Amino acid sequence: MRIAVASQNFRTVTPHAGKTRRFLVFEVEAGTPPREVERLDLPKDMSIHEYRGTDPHPLYSMRAVIAASAGPGFVARLASVGVAAIATSETDPVAAVEKFLAGTLPQAAEHEDDCDCNCH
């Protein structure tokens, strides 16, 4: 299974998943540590906040997307295609994936939203 982690700097878990355009993609197989297999560096119009295309979005093929924050629109949009969106206070991408798999991923603080578009 594939899990994406929002990471604008490709080093830490970053917030505002709907506007994020950079994601670390991990392949996860039973009994092995998560393995980074791809880095998504999407154009601005491919952020979930902006995306209005009819083709499947690259995040729609993930099992989960982890970020430091995610608004209700982002969570609902991914849920509609069977992808879990998780907000966490964990800052290390590999640790975030490992803790997600173990069921121990700490939740992020309450999301403070400065955007009323309901699409992130």
Q: Is residue 107 part of a domain?
A: no
Q: pLDDT tens digits for 45-89?
A: 999 999 998 888 999 999 999 999 999 999 999 999 999 999 999
CA neighbours within 13 Å on the CB side: how many for 116? 0
39 bridge partner residues: 24
Torsion-angle region of 21 (φ positive above 0: left; ψ -120 to 50: alpha; else: beta): alpha
Q: Do residues 20 and 47 lie in contact, with contact meaning Cβ atoms separated by under 8 Å?
A: yes
Q: Is residue 113 part of a domain?
A: no
Predicted confidence at residue 53, as pLDDT, reads: 85
Q: Is residue 112 part of a domain?
A: no
Q: Is residue 118 part of a domain?
A: no
Nearest C-alpha neighbor of 12 from the set 22, 41, 27:
22
CA neighbours within 13 Å on the CB side: how many for 96? 29
Q: Is residue 117 part of a domain?
A: no
Report how many domains make up the chain: 1
pTM: 0.90
Q: CATH number, domain at 84?
A: 3.30.420.130
Q: Is residue 34 part of a domain?
A: yes
Domain limits at 48?
A: 2-102
Nearest-angstrom CA–CA distance, 64 and 102: 14
Predicted confidence at residue 31, as pLDDT, reads: 86
Q: Is residue 33 part of a domain?
A: yes
Q: Is residue 44 part of a domain?
A: yes
pLDDT at 37 over 50: yes
User: Which residue is listed with tokens 């092995």?
Assistant: 32
The confidence band for 110, taking pLDDT boundaries of 50, 70 and 90, is low
